[in-house]
């Protein structure tokens, strides 16, 4: 099935793993005369809509870029506000996510968070460990280059010989070792940058860049992204065989 913009039909070909760079919160807030943190809170509120839509459409894995290793360079008040939002989400929404079958996973480093918040993150992961309806990877204090550097360091520490290193081995040392690579990556707000996000895992992902700011990216916008994905032919670096070629 091939839908058209505005078509509400769910495509036949649904990506198993969708990753989202949730961009545009600050600009969304500025356009409304609000502080940047209000945009981040609106972005968190929007996540519930997207989670519900992912379950409805049959997406099995959702990875969101919540806080990068570079975000520590933002103004201290904004950083503290983002950390407070993370804690509020765990305190207020964890059990609802758990009851709805969402499994939480963390990609990145917990360093930088206070000990009590680190414990809350670990408890959330443990509580939802057996849920199967949707796996939600939260990339917090995450950077793609940092992930690869850490994987290489661990390979060396484990005494892996150069002749043993291949792509499948490296995959086992990444944060995403137990889930498939993203089929589709969405970056909202119209910006066209990868921003150090899953740079190993997205080598052959399809990318989609809607103009919509993240707080306004809801069910219909996700459906449009999935419809566009369904139209594409993924080649993984190969050339399509000519018609009639055997």
Catalytic machinery residues: 23, 71
CA 93/CA 52 separation, integer angstroms: 14
Q: Which of 154, 229, 141, 144 is nearest to 184 (CA)?
A: 229
Q: Token digits for 106?
A: 């963390």
The candidate with the shortest Cα–Cα distance to 198, out of 171, 164, 225, is 171
CA dist., res. 129 & res. 105, Å (int): 8
Interatomic CA distance for residues 188 and 199, integer angstroms = 18
Q: Which residues contact 59 (CB under 8 A, 6 or more apart)?
A: 14, 15, 16, 17, 18, 134
């Amino acid at each position: 099935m091939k839908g058209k913009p505005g078509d509400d039909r769910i495509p036949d070909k649904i990506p198993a793993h969708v990753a989202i760079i949730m961009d545009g919160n600050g600009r969304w807030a500025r356009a409304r005369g609000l502080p940047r943190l209000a945009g981040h809170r609106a972005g968190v509120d929007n996540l519930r809509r997207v989670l519900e839509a992912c379950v409805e459409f049959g997406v099995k894995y959702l990875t969101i870029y919540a806080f990068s290793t570079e975000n520590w360079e933002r103004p201290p008040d904004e950083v503290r506000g983002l950390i407070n939002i993370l804690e509020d989400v765990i305190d207020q929404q964890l059990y609802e996510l758990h009851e709805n079958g969402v499994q939480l996973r963390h990609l990145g480093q917990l360093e930088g968070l206070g000990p009590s918040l680190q414990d809350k993150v670990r408890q959330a992961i443990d509580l939802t460990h057996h849920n199967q309806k949707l796996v939600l990877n939260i990339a917090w204090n995450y950077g793609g280059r940092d992930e690869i550097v850490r994987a290489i360091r661990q390979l060396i520490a484990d005494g892996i010989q150069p002749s043993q290193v291949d792509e499948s081995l490296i995959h086992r040392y990444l944060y995403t070792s137990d889930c498939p690579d993203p089929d589709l990556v969405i970056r909202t707000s119209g910006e066209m940058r990868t921003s150090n996000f899953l740079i190993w895992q997205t080598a052959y992902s399809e990318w989609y860049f809607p103009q919509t700011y993240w707080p306004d990216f809801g069910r219909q916008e996700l459906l449009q992204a999935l419809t566009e994905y369904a139209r594409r032919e993924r080649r993984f670096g190969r050339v399509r065989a000519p018609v009639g070629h055997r």
